[in-house]
Copies of this chain bind each other. A is one copy, B any other.
Amino acid sequence: MNVHFLISLLSNYKIMAQLQKSIDKRNALIKATIELVNNNGFHATPMSKIAKMANVSPGTIYLYFENKQDLVNQTYIEVKAEYTKYAFANYNEDACVEKSFEVIWKRIADFKLKECEYAFFLAQCDNTPIIDEASRQEGIKHLQPLLDLWARGKQEGVIKPIDDYLLYAYSINPLSFLLTIQKRAAFTLSKNQIEEAYQAAWDSIKLK
């Protein structure tokens, strides 16, 4: 269900305003969830605190989400969708594999380092059992363009003919580690270091 499409169908401004209000509330809840889980962990994030941070009554959460698990699942899916949307926003398939990869990689780096709250939340979900397997699967879907690019790269002999998991582990996932360090140590990756990181990523998967 695409919210913007729905809105475009509505002629009544009051309804639109109402709907916007609902969306705002939902977003506030998701934002609060991310912030609290990031700082305290899932185990120390009660619904009451989420409600308070979102300026909403605890009961209201249940108008938007089935239960706590559902809230976290949906938060995960939403953040993951934003992540991949950002990653592929300005990607077109015309460029050569190496250039295309660089563009995508840098968008991902951009997202992870700038929207580091989002990225940290994803890292937590990806490394713990707090997310349903179904939601996890849902989150992976949008990565297809990258997999397609790699397939092309393998065919052209530009990228190592190894499993996609390996390619991902070495060229993309390290960014998650770096962002975690950055968040924890109050240390910031310089522009130069991002370039070095990109080189390491490309070196690890390029052929010859």
Q: Which residues of A contact B (CB under 8 A)?
A: 38-43, 123-124, 126-130, 160, 162-163, 165-166, 168-170, 173-178, 180-181, 187, 193, 196-197, 200-201, 203-205
Contact = CB atoms under 8 A, between A and B. Distances in A.
Contact of A193 (B162, B168, B175): B162
A40 to B, nearest CB: 6
B162 A196 contact: yes
Q: What is the copy number of this chain in the assembly? A: 2
14 contacts: A38-B129, A42-B128, A126-B180, A162-B193, A162-B196, A163-B193, A165-B178, A169-B174, A169-B177, A170-B197, A173-B173, A174-B174, A200-B205, A201-B204
A17 to B, nearest CB: 38
A178 B123 CA distance: 14
Nearest to A120: B127
Given A160-B200, A200-B205, A204-B204, A129 B169 contact: no
A39 B129 CA distance: 7
Contacts of A168: 177
Contact of A128 (B124, B162, B170): B124
Contacts of A124: 127-128
Contacts of A41: 42-43, 128-130
For the complex of A and B, the 6 pairs showing the least CB-CB separation, nearest first, are A43-B43, A204-B204, A169-B174, A127-B127, A200-B204, A170-B200
Contacts of A197: 166, 169-170
A177 B170 CA distance: 9
